[in-house]
Structure 1
């Protein structure tokens, strides 16, 4: 004689939190609910995020991608309507005194949506090097 658990073992659509075996769970998404897991349609025009979001994404990416201690963001600018550019500095080698630290300056390229799509080492120098920047 089969038990109650054997009777419903093949029916995965039943709500596991319900005491009523007749209650079923509908896992299919409703057609009236908008889907949030698909990317924005590029034909909708340039999808740009704000400066602060780009700055935050660049900082997070530098910490993850460059495997060095994050030092700071030097510049964030828009390359064109579809891409951002961020210059970040990282400490590539610590030294004592810290004026002898080796810093790397990297250019990160981000999409209009703020996703990092590339990076490149632009310069490597000692912290004590005096530079005049415009």
Structure 2
């Protein structure tokens, strides 16, 4: 069985490879059905100067027990520093 930390690493690797963008952080995790994990990854979608103007996005992913990507989708975009969701 894959550990939570390893699942998070694999999810970040997959999101980075698919989007070509840098992952900012893992903002959520939970066990998926079976031996997999659901991992929510925050990504810098558009880098701006100053950094406080960056556009961030949240991606929901699911990795299986081997760390392979099973599901992936962008669920939200927002400017850095915005508190809460619209």
Q: TM-score, normalised by structure 2?
A: 0.86
Counterpart residue number, 1:45: none
Matched, 1:108 2:65: no
Cα RMSD, aligned residues only: 1.6
1:88 aligns with 2:36: no
| Correspondences of 1:49-68 after superposition (within 5 Å) | 49-68=2-21
Residues 74-120 of structure 1 show CA distances to partners (whole Å, capped at 9, x for unaligned) of 11210222431000011111112222110010001111222112200
What is the number of equivalent residue pairs in this alignment? 85
Q: Distance in 2 between matches of 1:105 and 1:82?
A: 23
Which structure has more relative contact order (CA 8 Å, sep 6+)? It is: 2
3-state DSSP class of the match of 1:74?
strand
Question: 1:77 aligned to 30, 33, 43, which one?
Answer: 30
- Aligned equivalents of 1:129, 1:61: Cα separation in 2: 26
Q: Which runs of 5+ in 1 are unaligned?
A: 1-47
**In 2: Cα distance, 1:96 partner to 1:117 partner:** 35
Unaligned ranges ≥5, structure 2: none
C-alpha distance in 2, partners of 1:102/1:76? Answer: 22
Show the 5 A alignment for 1:1-134: 48-131=1-84
